[in-house]
Amino acid sequence: MRRRRRPSRESVLFDFGDFQITKRELLASISIIAIMLLIGTLIGGKVSDYQMDQNEKYNKAVKIETQDLFEYGMRTNIGNAFVYGDLLAVDTVTYPEIGGSYMYVEKVKERYTMHTRQVAHTRTVNGKTQTYYTTETYWTWDRVGSEDKTCNEISFLGVVFDTCKIDIPGSCYIDTIKESSHVRYKYYGIGTQFTGTIFTELRDDTITNGTPFYENRTIDETLNTLESDFMVVAFWIFWVILMAICTGGFYYIDNRWLE
């Protein structure tokens, strides 16, 4: 904490012992807040304009739910579109020991490993508290390696693409197989069929690389999700927190220049 440095009680507005706020500091902090609000308004306006442009792009996008229109849109460079349909793995992958079929599968090797750590204790000796340390041993399953497989092709609404064209859903835990008491393998995978919506650009007989896939959402549900004011709200939450930190930091430093 900063030291008490102003003997004049008239200049101190708030006194918290070793921490004081003077009238001049309060007035200066109001100016800081006003300047930051002005800057925040300018930046927030830019964020809001960007969000409005994005919302306009979403509203103007074509909505597609049939394979014929999907293929026509790619062939004629129709542009931005919401497309609803089934996402399927064309060539599935797996590991023999777990069987099944997957769009993606990962095999993680874990080893049961011993670790040590220092643990602090306290004791009283001759009326004085002392701290001493002991070494504690504990065991954990640590990841020591992994490998994975991904299908080469997927289809969406009946059209086949390279897997890189669509961001496939996240993986889920499948099984754990022990090789020994100290080595095991954990398996994670992605199923072979999903239903949902993509937002992409239809151009040159294909879609955009890395097109996001919104699992179990209709076109309208996806549109409502994307057409939010999240960016604007998130910015102002961040900016208010930053203002509070800057103001608190200003009060904390030794502002002798205001005397």
Q: Please report where in the chains the tokens 């889920």 appear, as a residue.
A: 172
pLDDT number for residue 79 = 93
pLDDT number for residue 50 = 80
Percent of the chain with pLDDT over 90: 59
**pLDDT top residue among 199 and 259:** 199
Instruction: Map out the domains of the chain as residue ranges.
Output: 9-56+234-258, 61-227
Q: Which of 17-26, 39-48, 120-129, 236-245 has the lowest mean pLDDT?
A: 17-26
pLDDT band of residue 1 (cuts 50, 70, 90) is: very low
- Asked if residue 57 has pLDDT above 90, the reply is no
Q: Which of 75-79, 109-113, 119-123, 186-190 has the lowest mean pLDDT?
A: 119-123
As a whole number of angstroms, the distance between CA 44 and CA 60 comes to: 24
As a whole number of angstroms, the distance between CA 53 and CA 72 comes to: 26
Q: Which of 188, 169, 185 is closest to 177 using CA atoms?
A: 185
pLDDT number for residue 255 = 58
Average pLDDT over residues 220-235: 83
> Counting Cβ atoms within 10 Å, is residue 12 exposed (0-12), middle (13-18) or buried (19+)?
middle
Q: Give this prediction's pTM.
A: 0.70
- Asked if residue 67 has pLDDT above 50, the reply is yes
Q: Please report where in the chains the tokens 């442009």 appear, as a residue.
A: 53
Q: Which of 36-45, 86-95, 106-115, 170-179 has the lowest mean pLDDT?
A: 36-45
**pLDDT top residue among 241 and 20:** 241
